[in-house]
Amino acid sequence: MQSKAFRRIFAGTFSSNIGTWMQNITLIALAYRLTGSAWFTGVITFAQLGPMLFLSPFGGAIADRFNRRSVIISMSVVQLVMSMVLAVVALSDTPSQFILVAVVASIGCANAIAGPTMISLLPSLVPREDLQPAIAINSVSMNASRVIGPLLGGILGSLAGASAVFVVNGLTYLFVVIAVLSVDIDFSPKGNKGDGPIEQMRQGLRAVRADRVITRVIVSMAVLSMCSLIFIYQMPLVAQEHFELTGWKFNLLFATFALGAALGALSMGSFLSGHNRAKVARVALVVFAGALAVFGIDTILPLGFVAAFTLGASYFVIVTALSTTLQMRAPDEVRGRIMGLWMMAWAGLVPLGALVAGPIIDAVGIAAVLLFGAVVAAGLAVLINLSEPESETQTV
């Protein structure tokens, strides 16, 4: 990628994402060590990710209303400060559960507000023809950080304790601040500042409804997140019940999924970049559905690793194809609000789906739920239509 601005922003966000995953894995371990409760561990997880569901549309409105450099810097500083507070709280042998949840939720809220702004920067960082490779590289970095972060967090946590991990994560937000300050691009908002935030969010919804392709992208991602991505949060259960994997062996299974995801995203920036994204998304959904069905019923360990890899690869081919289509079509004046709705569909609905699926899994088992998700993915492959209406001229 030739863009110096893109390289700097990429380096800053990649470093910060590694710190975030160091903190995520350490938080889950800390929550379980303190309480021995899977319920409290789930509460901590929802405090981290739940704000994506509720605040991403609001974050999108902010991205279109305020200077994007200021939004990213201010939210990064909030996350830095609250990570340091978390480090202090974790020094106690018996930290308050309420304070832990409150601090983690504040970090999650800042992330949900900053996320749409950061995503909205991409078209300003690279030429239009480089947009799909840039999105693919971003996806690769997200998945690489999911592998590197837990590994570094586990090592640092065992050597210096949870507080040290939280301090390091806090410091990684400085990389984002430095990167944003060092690039010379247009950070000005494109939306109409005269409208209130509620009206701006309504404008974003109207913009989505006005473009049938954008509507299909967001609805398809929302349905997939709610119904077919439950396996991500239930992978420990599948690993233990189907393959008798625990500890580092489970981490290896998750790393296989993350590796597949990274390679799937990378393929969209390389040999798949010249193919029609609508067809690529449809084929990837079929492959994803088949892999999810196998993962749901398989008890043969090597096949389980193949299924996990295939799930990761096909999932991020789908995500990259859909998000590229969205970025190519979103009008600049409402881009932040549209990307806020995308983040809600992509990231915010996954923990909600997992929350709803919990009691169903207890009642009928994990296999039935994953098979249902496979059927939904196969149905999306049949129903999804990212083709251009005849009246529109852009190529998808």
Domain at 217, CATH number: 1.20.1250.20
Beta carbons of 374 and 286 less than 8 angstroms apart: no
Lowest-pLDDT choice from 23-37, 104-118, 258-272, 277-291 = 23-37
Residue matched to tokens 């065992």: 158
Looking at residue 369, its amino acid is V
Q: Which of the listed residues 143, 161, 183 is the one where a domain comes to its end?
A: 183
Contacts of 21 (CB under 8 A, 6+ apart): 145, 146, 148, 149, 150, 153
Q: Which of the listed residues 116, 150, 183 is the one where a domain comes to its end?
A: 183
Q: For 4-26, how does the pLDDT look when each residue is reduced to its tens digit (9 = 90+)? A: 999 999 999 999 999 998 898 78
User: Which pLDDT band holds residue 380 (cuts at 50, 70, 90)?
Assistant: very high
Phi first, then psi: what are they for 278, rounded to 5°? -65, -45
Q: What is the dihedral of CA 276, 277, 282, 285, to 10 degrees?
A: 140
Distance CA 86, CA 94 (A): 13
Q: Which of the listed residues 158, 183, 208 is the one where a domain comes to its end?
A: 183
Distance CA 325, CA 155 (A): 39
Task: Look up residue 165 and give its two tokens.
Answer: 């991990």
pLDDT at 1 over 70: no
Total domains, the chain: 2
Distance CA 256, CA 146 (A): 11
Phi first, then psi: what are they for 229, rounded to 5°? -105, 15
Position 310 scores a pLDDT of 98
Closest CA to 117 of 344, 341, 340: 340
H/E run at residue 197: helix 197-210
127 and 71 belong to one structural domain: yes
Position 393 scores a pLDDT of 38
221 and 265 belong to one structural domain: yes
User: Which pLDDT band holds residue 233 (cuts at 50, 70, 90)?
Assistant: confident
Residue 106, CB-side half-sphere exposure with 13 Å CA sphere: 16
Q: For 204-214, how does the pLDDT look when each residue is reduced to its tens digit (9 = 90+)? A: 889 899 999 99
User: Which pLDDT band holds residue 395 (cuts at 50, 70, 90)?
Assistant: very low
Position 38 scores a pLDDT of 61
- DSSP code, position 93: S
108 and 136 belong to one structural domain: yes
pLDDT at 221 over 70: yes
Rounded to an integer, the average pLDDT of 263-270 is 86
Beta carbons of 73 and 12 less than 8 angstroms apart: no
207 and 58 belong to one structural domain: no
Distance CA 211, CA 388 (A): 10
Q: What is the pTM of this model?
A: 0.80
Rounded to an integer, the average pLDDT of 243-253 is 77
Radius of gyration (C-alpha) of the chain in whole angstroms: 20
Distance CA 175, CA 216 (A): 36
24 and 97 belong to one structural domain: yes
Distance CA 233, CA 361 (A): 12
The DSSP string of 189-257 is: --S-TTS-HHHHHHHHHHHHHH-HHHHHHHHHHHHHHHHH-HHHHHHHHHHHHHH---HHHHHHHHHHH
Task: Look up residue 141 and give its two tokens.
Answer: 């970095």
Rounded to an integer, the average pLDDT of 175-198 is 82
283 and 151 belong to one structural domain: no
Helix (H, G, I), strand (E, B) or coil at 385: coil
Lowest-pLDDT choice from 37-41, 118-122, 266-270 = 37-41
257 and 323 belong to one structural domain: yes
User: Which pLDDT band holds residue 247 (cuts at 50, 70, 90)?
Assistant: low
Position 132 scores a pLDDT of 79
Beta carbons of 204 and 340 less than 8 angstroms apart: yes
Helix (H, G, I), strand (E, B) or coil at 168: helix
Q: What is the mean pLDDT of the chain?
A: 87
159 and 198 belong to one structural domain: no
Distance CA 321, CA 268 (A): 7
Task: Look up residue 331 and give its two tokens.
Answer: 């009008």
Residue range(s) defining the domain that contains residue 199: 192-396
Distance CA 237, CA 8 (A): 39
140 and 13 belong to one structural domain: yes
pLDDT at 396 over 50: no
Q: For 48-67, how does the pLDDT look when each residue is reduced to its tens digit (9 = 90+)? A: 888 988 899 889 989 888 89
Position 241 scores a pLDDT of 86
Residue matched to tokens 């967001």: 218
Q: For 72-99, how does the pLDDT look when each residue is reduced to its tens digit (9 = 90+)? A: 999 999 999 999 999 999 999 888 899 9
313 and 211 belong to one structural domain: yes
177 and 200 belong to one structural domain: no
Rounded to an integer, the average pLDDT of 180-192 is 83
The CA-CA-CA angle for residues 109, 113, 117, to 5°, reads 155
- DSSP code, position 333: G
136 and 272 belong to one structural domain: no
